Amino acid sequence: MTTNVCDLPEALVRKRMTEMVEACIQTNTKPSVLKLARQLGLSNTTFRRRFPDIARELSRFRSAPVDPADEPTAHDRLIARNAKLRRRNQELTSDLALAVAQLQQLALANDQLRKALEDASKVTNIRARKGNY
């Protein structure tokens, strides 16, 4: 027993195909017959059987060689890499500034704790006494 599939007009299928191709161009991916068939609620086989011309067009578009003008040039890749390195350098610089601030805070806290310990135990620091001679 087969299920009845509503008849889709070819104009609607072509419209969806055009939308999918445009989306694929923007995302730099290749369109597929299966993807279009699923969007329309059809199985791959049913779509290919009912719309063979559209399936062939999509197959040709999918197997078309990539235009070398679409690929980034060496200069473009170098610019992108430099931008990435600059961002990473800024991140590391801010991390370093934060680490320095934390070290300064720890040094101050250490000095306060050392003084509190000396006051509590009535012991003076030898380094502090050397300067008095």
The answer to whether the beta carbons of residues 42 and 36 sit under 8 Å apart is no
Query: Packing angle between helix 10-27 and helix 52-63, nearest 10 degrees?
Result: 10
pLDDT tens, residue by residue, 67-82: 555 677 888 889 999 9
- Cα–Cα dist 44/51, whole Å: 10
* 2-6, 52-56, 79-83, 105-109: segment of lowest average pLDDT: 2-6
93 pLDDT tier (thresholds 50, 70, 90): very high
- Cα–Cα dist 94/41, whole Å: 52
Is the pLDDT at 23 greater than 70, yes or no? Answer: yes
Is the pLDDT at 3 greater than 80, yes or no? Answer: no
Instruction: Give the pLDDT confidence score for residue 106 in this predicted structure.
Output: 97
- Cα–Cα dist 133/131, whole Å: 6
Is the pLDDT at 133 greater than 90, yes or no? Answer: no
pTM assigned to the model = 0.45
In three state form, how does the secondary structure of the chain look?
CCCCCCCCCHHHHHHHHHHHHHHHHHHCCCCCHHHHHHHCCCCHHHHHHHCHHHHHHHHHHHHCCCCCCCCCCHHHHHHHHHHHHHHHHHHHHHHHHHHHHHHHHHHHHHHHHHHHHHHHHCCCCHHHHHCCC
